[in-house]
């Protein structure tokens, strides 16, 4: 199996098993979702993958992606720009 398509709510998920230019010997499940301009290599394709067991994994992956996007961005200060900590006098 190398193709799965299903609808979850208002979104259509199209999933294809294919390799990546960065990892040509590894087959990934590439996910495209309506309303998204990007596709995602969610996880590696396994021998036992079926439409039935892929669907909950794909939906969970996408829901986590949306949750990660909704989180506020963390801005880290480079180590060399940190100010010295002031000592508290008692």
**Can you give the pLDDT of all 90 residues of the chain as single tens digits?**
899 999 999 999 999 999 999 999 999 999 999 999 999 998 999 999 999 999 999 999 999 999 999 999 888 777 766 666 777 776
Determine the pLDDT at residue 90.
64
Where in the chain are the domains? 3-62
Determine the pLDDT at residue 15.
96
Phi and psi angles of residue 48, each rounded to the nearest 5 degrees, phi first: -85, 10
How far, CA to CA in Å, does 81 sit from each of 76, 77, 78, 84, 86? Answer: 10, 7, 6, 9, 15
């Amino acid at each position: 199996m190398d193709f799965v398509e299903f609808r979850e709510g208002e979104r259509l998920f199209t999933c294809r098993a294919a390799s990546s230019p960065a990892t040509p010997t590894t087959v990934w499940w590439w996910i495209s979702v309506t309303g998204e301009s990007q596709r995602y290599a969610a996880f590696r394709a396994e021998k036992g993958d079926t439409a039935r067991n892929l669907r909950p994994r794909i939906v969970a992956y996408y829901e986590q992606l949306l949750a990660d996007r909704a989180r506020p961005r963390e801005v880290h200060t480079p180590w060399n720009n940190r100010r010295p900590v002031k000592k508290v006098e008692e």
